[in-house]
Amino acid sequence: MTIKELHQKLIRKEISVLEIVKTCLKKIEREDKKIHSFLTLVPELAIKQAQKTQAKIDREFKAPSSKVLNTSKDKISLLCGIPCAIKDNILVEDVKCTAGSKILQDYISPYDATVIKRLKEAGAIILGKTNLDEFAMGSSTENSAFAITRNPHDFNRVPGGSSGGSAAAVASDFCQFALGSDTGGSIRQPAAFCGVVGLKPTYGAVSRYGLVAMASSLDQIGPITNNIEDIKIIFDIIRGRDPLDSTSVESNLKHPTSNIQHLKIGIPKEYFIEGIEEGVRKRVEKVIEKFQKLGIKTLNISLPHTEYALPTYSVIMASEASTNLARYDGIRYGLKESLISEAKVQNLFDFYSEIRGKYFGKEIRRRIVLGSFALSVGYYDEYYLRAQKVRRLIKEDFDQAFSKVDLILTPVSPTVAFKLGEKMDDPIKMYLADIFTVGASLAGLPAISLPCGKVNNLPVGAQLIGKPFQEPTILKAGEIFEKF
């Protein structure tokens, strides 16, 4: 069911919030042992919140009603009583937040992220925190320090990353929706691999306050659901200006009319290259044909600096991550006591080295070293500054393309979900999983992953990229595609 359908059942008293929450928790307990989508469950908190929310619904709607209410005039939010899951790098007050890392294994959040405050105010019920690649660095959720999440469609394959736990939880019907974070494709790619819908909003559209920072000029929080309608509802609640995040903005979103035949969709030739699986190519080409049948015009376009997007992203991401992760030193966050031998520690540098070497995973250490090198004296201009210049060129490519088209359509990933362990020994192959998603991230553009069929019973995702703060256009096009 959609959020609206569940909402109607709740206010008609056909079902209670407690029944929904208990059903979800039982399903998670029964089935998540194989998938490992959750790192932390908070059943007591969820049940307590469900009871409060039900009391609120009972006060507002004292008697069952067979009449379909106009939800826009309802006295309670559409999210009231709706169960959700939160990626474990987004802070929830009094709940453990590990970011998938042992260095934060004991960290309890003292406050709510802004998006969590907004979900709680709307009445959403948080079931728990989902697994992720450590500090959101990865494309498969195999880099978590605590568990490997498996794809619900094939337990021998990855769910994508780094928001693999969130995507797997939604695909498994453990919750109605989940929040993830997207730095270079970490919402869109797992959504594609798991056959669900994932939105990366425009940079600045959603507050990052309370998100464990990885690459601050790229990170963005967004929703993962089973359908476009639910994405619209959640995005409308979590978006908007936040005084606690200076990069967030209030935007006047213009909703397109129901007739979108005037839209033009660009098809960039650089995204249909050698290396893309034939089955993936065919499924995305079917999406193009479907839009054409709906009367939407498609144009061949070029984004000439696409080939530089992945190395540019890698340098910027690693540089910003190395700076952001400097705060995790075993003193200020996470570890409650020293778990190292005093014989190995002669000074503060030894302490930092021992803690960070022991409690950071291999991929984290790799990116910190890369980022620190790129920012070091003598190499800053050669690497980080040059990457920022190329980033500007990539953004200009998109700006020029959007002078001709309204949306850009591409694959989300060159492959379907790959097998567990297949790319763990080759970081370059793993990074290539994000080759089609990093461009929109570097340009700060909104993008969505839409399920568009399967290849060998594995989901394929198509990506729609839009102009800044034009999420309504993306969502409308996705909605039309979903219905027809």
List residues with catalytic annotation.
Answer: 87, 162, 186
DSSP H helical ranges for 216-340: 228-238, 278-293, 309-324
CA distance 391 to 375: 16
Which of 171, 206, 203 lies closest to 90 in space, CA to CA? 206
Residues facing 177 on adjacent strands: 84
Give the torsion sign (CA, 129, 133, 138, 142).
negative
Burial class (CB in 10 A: 0-12, 13-18, 19+), 183: buried
Distances (CA, A) of 460 to 132, 160, 360, 417: 21, 12, 33, 9
CA distance 133 to 156: 17
CA distance 412 to 464: 9
Cis ω for the linkage preceding 217 (within 30 of 0) = no
Which of 153, 167, 173 lies closest to 199 in space, CA to CA? 167
CA distance 141 to 279: 24
Give the torsion sign (CA, 209, 134, 159, 281).
positive
CA distance 55 to 128: 22
125 phi and psi angles, rounded to 5 deg: -105, 120
Pairing of the two strands 407-411 and 264-268: parallel
Q: Is 203 helix (H, G, I), strand (E, B) or coil?
A: coil
Which residue shows structure tokens 């960039």?
A: 268
Question: Could you give the angle at which helices 362-375 and 309-324 cross, rounded to 10 degrees?
Answer: 100
Residues facing 466 on adjacent strands: 407
57 phi and psi angles, rounded to 5 deg: -65, -40
Contact status, residue 209 vs residue 242, Cβ threshold 8 Å: yes
CA distance 189 to 197: 10
Contact status, residue 460 vs residue 246, Cβ threshold 8 Å: no
Pairing of the two strands 197-200 and 447-455: antiparallel
